[in-house]
Amino acid sequence: MDFQVVVLAGGTSNKLVPLVSKDVPKSLLPVANRPVLAYVLDLLEQSNIKDLIVVVEGEDTDGLVENWISEAYVDRLHVQVASVGEEVGTAGALRAIAHHLTASDILVVSGDLVCDISPGAVAAAHRRHDAAVTALFCASPISGPPESGSSGGKDKTKKPVRHNIVGVDITQQFLLYIAAGMEVEKDIKVQKSILRAVGKMEIHADLMDAHLYAFKRSVLQQVLNQKQTFKSLKLDVLPYLVKSQLRSEILLNGAQAEENGNEKDSYNTDQVMLSQLLANASTPSFHEVYASGPNGFSPAERKTHKCCIYIANKTKYCARLNSVQAYSDINRDVIGDASHLSGYSFSAHNNVIHPSAVLGSKTTVGPQCMLGEGSQMGDKCSVKRSVIGRHCRIGSNVKVVNSVIMNHVTIGDGCSIQGSIISSNVQLQERAVLRDCQVGAGFVVPASSEYKGESLARK
């Protein structure tokens, strides 16, 4: 279908400290015991996209991701991994691999996306309108159950940041205005020309950018070349394209020029007639109406490009792993509401317990739980709505509620873990109590200690 797919797997995100580290880049963070990147790759594989480029930030993580993909997806996908320097941003990453891009349209997917929306839908909308860019937006996920304590406070500050102000036309096909979280504090400035051309605009604050974009290659490469300062697709490239859609500075010498090209070399009046005939027959979007001027003709042709939006159905699941809160939310959802994403078959009790896992007597594993391969649990434990990774050793009388426990974690007797995330190789000594905490890899929690809403990491 003449699409190239680029997965931006990212590197070690600052927002996810202490969960990520040099050994565990963001893209390999386990969500329900599978790296988050697997969700994206599976989604693409389901859509019959077998050929893709994965871009990883940072030299060290490159090898890890490459190894994992080659192990997991051998004979399934044809994946090329490219590594770019750290802190180049999403735009920079694309700039670095620009010479590999040859297809007429590029689908850019963020590696931390967990969703069940078919990328084909976005691509089809993109093709249909012959757009310069098409972005996937979905209803913002309801933030996890508000936990008491300090993390609730943290949520309040973070919430507005995640939200975008998005302006769309009434058919919800075109993107007219976008402001990312930081700018929301200021007044919204909507361009008069766009508003005048389109007539009505719907402003949404409940939409989330899923970081899945379809770009026209020529447009993307041109913008990246001309605007060397652009670092982020979401914050720089997309708003730029949206703002300039009615006074396009892009020389559309790509696919769109094939259509308009006829008009440019207007030596042949037949060709003009032909393109006019086609244009008249199709329902014009406001771009075309604007381009043709107020009275159906204009002295100088105004250049426009289309920015489209695909708003996913509310029934679809879509989330991005871009914060600690999101990490626990996604883990909860993947084994809960959106269980079809996890790729596991759930037992009659609505949980997944690996056959090799050992459970002590009187230990209960509630619904919406997952117990990884080779994990052992002592007696009288109780696990509720939690994910426990591989080869964990959990003593007796341990309570795990609403938590994520990664691989090779040792938990002593009588521990209580609530709403926390515990990275790999962590050791919890006896009677440790954790509440709303994040524990970095390899950390040792001393016996009988109590933590509440803290981020613990090895110095």
DSSP secondary-structure letter at 182? G
For tokens 């110095």, the residue is 459
By CB under 8 A, residue 3 contacts another protein: yes
Calculate the CA 208 to chain-centre distance: 10
Binding residue for another protein, selected from 74, 102, 296, 361, defined by CB under 8 A: 296
Q: Which is nearer to another protein, 96 or 124 (CB)?
A: 124
273 CB burial (10 A radius; 0-12, 13-18, 19+): exposed
Rounded least distance, CB 321 to another protein, Å: 24
Sequence-ordered list of residues with C-beta below 8 angstroms from that of 342, at least 6 positions apart, any chain: 32, 34, 334, 335, 352, 370
Q: x/- binding map, residues 252-271, to another protein, per CB under 8 A?
A: ------------------x-
Q: Which residues, numbered 91-120, are part of the site for another protein (CB under 8 A)?
A: 104, 118-120
> What's the one-letter identity of residue 231?
K
Question: Residues touching another protein: how many (CB under 8 A)?
Answer: 30
User: Quick one: which segment of 177-185, 189-197, 236-244, 273-281 binds another protein (CB under 8 A)?
Assistant: 273-281
Task: Decide: is 124 part of the binding site for another protein (CB under 8 A).
Answer: yes
CA neighbours closer than 13 Å in the CB half-sphere of residue 445 = 35
**Smallest distance from another protein to CB 92, Å:** 27
Q: Does 161 bind another protein (CB under 8 A)?
A: no
Question: Is 281 a binder of another protein (CB under 8 A)?
Answer: yes
By CB under 8 A, tell whether 123 contacts another protein.
yes
Do the bridges between strand 113-115 and strand 318-320 make them parallel or antiparallel, or are there none, so unpaired? Answer: antiparallel
CA distance 225 to 209: 24
Which is closer to another protein, CB of 296 or CB of 355? 296
* Crossing angle of helices 269-281 and 255-264, rounded to 10°: 130
Give yes or no for residue 199 binding another protein (CB under 8 A). Answer: no
Q: Which is nearer to another protein, 53 or 84 (CB)?
A: 53
The yes or no reply on residue 125 touching another protein (CB under 8 A) is: yes
The whole-angstrom separation of Cα 160 and Cα 208 is 11
Whole-number Å distance between alpha carbons of 327 and 322 = 7
Nearer to another protein, 98 or 121 (CB): 121
Interface residues with another protein (CB under 8 A) are: 1-3, 47-49, 104, 118-121, 123-125, 127-128, 130, 270, 273-274, 277-278, 280-284, 295-297
